[in-house]
Amino acid sequence: MEIFSLKNEIKEYILIKKREGKKIGLVPTMGFLHEGHCQLIRKARSECEIVVLSIFVNPTQFGPSEDFNKYPRDFQRDKSMAIKEGVDIIFCPEAKEMYGENSLAYVDIKKISKVMCGKFRPGHFRGVCSVVLKLFNIIMPDAAYFGLKDYQQYLIIKKMVEDLDLNIEVFGCETVREKDGLAMSSRNKYLSESQRENSLVLYHSLNLAAKNLIEKKKSIQAIKKQSRQMLEENKYVNKIDYFDIRNADDLSNLSAYKQKASKILIASAIYIGKTRLIDNIAILI
Amino acid sequence: MEIFSLKNEIKEYILIKKREGKKIGLVPTMGFLHEGHCQLIRKARSECEIVVLSIFVNPTQFGPSEDFNKYPRDFQRDKSMAIKEGVDIIFCPEAKEMYGENSLAYVDIKKISKVMCGKFRPGHFRGVCSVVLKLFNIIMPDAAYFGLKDYQQYLIIKKMVEDLDLNIEVFGCETVREKDGLAMSSRNKYLSESQRENSLVLYHSLNLAAKNLIEKKKSIQAIKKQSRQMLEENKYVNKIDYFDIRNADDLSNLSAYKQKASKILIASAIYIGKTRLIDNIAILI
């Protein structure tokens, strides 16, 4: 396995592989890998000849009061896992290498970046789009793999690739969950034992809404209210950023049931103590 | 010469050329070619194996009250000139093909897109950056050629390429002028005979400032004032958007002479009747 921290060095290496006609797959991460990341790597491994894992805790996607500094990092552990999963290249630049002294360009997406997490984390998706586009230009992948736990991010990246005419296939891979249902996330590490137990309420509130939506007995508004209530009743839930029911294709609000079967996204972001957790499920009704 | 109007078709064609190791040069234009464009093509021709000329009057870089509809177009004339100059490929998509139904992604640059033309044409450089990035992703050039008459555009594109880690060399080619000094521009076609004669005042006002700057006898403020006065005294000058003296590297304002020799940009945008003309000269003082 090769490890690069300089843009020019990995570019040069990748260009050789591309000239040989090798298919390049990229799994962009912020490190502190878990089984969710591993499944992305496995999917890339099964489809591509060269698998690149990028590890970069991107400062521009964190707000000033967010957890950039304390975001968990453990390169040695990530490296061992990457070797085990058969990664070919790790790209782990420093922020200074990534952005230089005076970076002025950015990419953003209208509409779909302004709702849900975009509403509560202003500038977050601008930071995500810009760094992912940079990674795409540095690593020149044929395919890139994202986890559907971050469904909005996946949709935004897919739209960016389409709108900017990039030649990259974007794959969204199913959320990987702990045995009890909690979506895997590097941030789960922040949770105390009792917080960890109670964090399950997030997944339960989504499932409650899904069950209600499938039954079609209550209005969308009433369904949202009931799930919100479940969250509010748990004393470990410090704050609810949102509990939304939206069209999964364009994140527009779903205010009433549709006649035609369509894919619906149920998504929520809550704080357990100081830890912000997000989760979602998509259903066809 | 090949002519493409569909993104996927030119992509496919270019990919074959790239796999053959051919160097691709792109000259992005809005058509209605003049000698300035021809010199860009000749420079590309001398350096690249495949020269692509794009012709696209990009709606997103025009403001609602600007001249998008009446912008001069003559494809047959452009085509003849392209053949004569040895262009290999013309790419001339329709707006619907370029943007699809619901384009949401955009690219922009902080600071340097907010001054000069950016101040008077809000959204203009966002439109330029976004369409040029799309062209870069479609045509995958190794080098791209821009005229220095649009100095701010050149600087912005160069910064975009650097900040987004694109693997493209961006060249700025000297402004080509009519015999009397007027910078060549497709928009010169709008001028009546008397307007055409009087439009020279733009170039004269820049040269007056250059002469004054080299002499270093007057303050920067006084130099700007004197050139502005020259413009104001010409009754064909309908409006002055700006007359600026700036550092050529980052477009920051030059308020006093520097001790070290540095490249200074003198730039102006004025209206002759309803026609907006821009011009600039860069000097080392």
Rounded alpha-carbon distances, angstroms, from residue B1 to A91, B79, B135, B246, B262 = 41, 9, 19, 42, 43
Show the domain range for B217.
Answer: 186-280
Residues B252 and B211 occupy one common structural domain: yes
DSSP string, B215-248: HT-S-HHHHHHHHHHHHHHSTTEEEEEEEEEEET
Q: Is A45 on the interface with B (CB under 8 A)?
A: no
Q: Tell me whether residue A129 is in a domain.
A: yes
CATH of the domain at B86: 3.40.50.620
Residues A169 and A191 in one domain: no
Tokens linked to B235: 């009754």
Residues B112 and B30 in one domain: yes
- One domain for residues B34 and B104: yes
pLDDT attached to residue B231: 98
- B54 domain residue, yes or no: yes
> Among A126, A145, A173, where does a domain finish?
A173
User: What is the rounded distance in angstroms from the CA atom of residue A215 to the CA atom of residue B139?
Assistant: 50
Single-letter residue type at B193: E
For residue A193, the surrounding DSSP H or E stretch is helix A193-198
Would an 8 Å CB–CB cutoff place A52 in contact with chain B?
no
Give the number of domains in chain A: 2
| Residue B178 lies inside a defined structural domain of this protein | no
Tell me the per-residue pLDDT of A152-211, one tens digit each, with 9 for 90 and over: 999 999 999 999 999 999 999 999 999 999 999 999 999 999 999 999 999 999 999 999
**Does residue B257 sit within a domain?**
yes
- Residue ending a domain, among A114, A147, A173, is A173
Write out the two tokens for A37.
Answer: 């990341």
CATH of the domain at B208: 3.30.1300.10
**Closest to B127 in 3D by CA, of B89, B155, B157, B165:** B157
pLDDT beneath 70: ranges in chain A: none
Selected catalytic residue, list A34, A37, A124, A204 = A37
Report CA torsion sign: A78, A79, A84, A86: positive
Would you call A162 an interface residue with chain B, using a CB distance cutoff of 8 Å? yes
The verdict on A99 and A223 lying in the same domain is: no
- Do B237 and B114 share a domain, yes or no? no
Within a domain: B181: no
Determine, for residues A105 and B104 on separate chains, whether the beta-carbon distance falls below 8 Å: no
Mean pLDDT of B237-242: 98
**Does A110 touch chain B if contact means CB atoms closer than 8 Å?**
yes
- Residue A140 lies inside a defined structural domain of this protein: yes
Same domain, B26 and B139: yes
- Please name the member of A103, A112, A163 whose beta carbon is closest to the beta carbon of B103: A163
Taking the C-alpha atoms of residue A184 and residue A149, their distance in angstroms, rounded to an integer, is: 8
Catalytic site includes residue A37: yes
By DSSP bridging, strand A275-284 and strand B2-4 are: unpaired
Model's pTM, two decimal places?
A: 0.97
Distance of residue A113 Cα from the nearest chain B Cα, in angstroms: 10
What is the ipTM, given to two decimal places? 0.96
What pLDDT digit, counting tens, does each position of B139-197 carry? 999 999 999 999 999 999 999 999 999 999 999 999 999 999 999 999 999 999 999 99
Distance of CA B61 to the CA centre of its chain: 12
| pLDDT tens-digit readout, B63-78 | 999 999 999 999 999 9
Find the residue in B nearest to A129 (Cα): B105
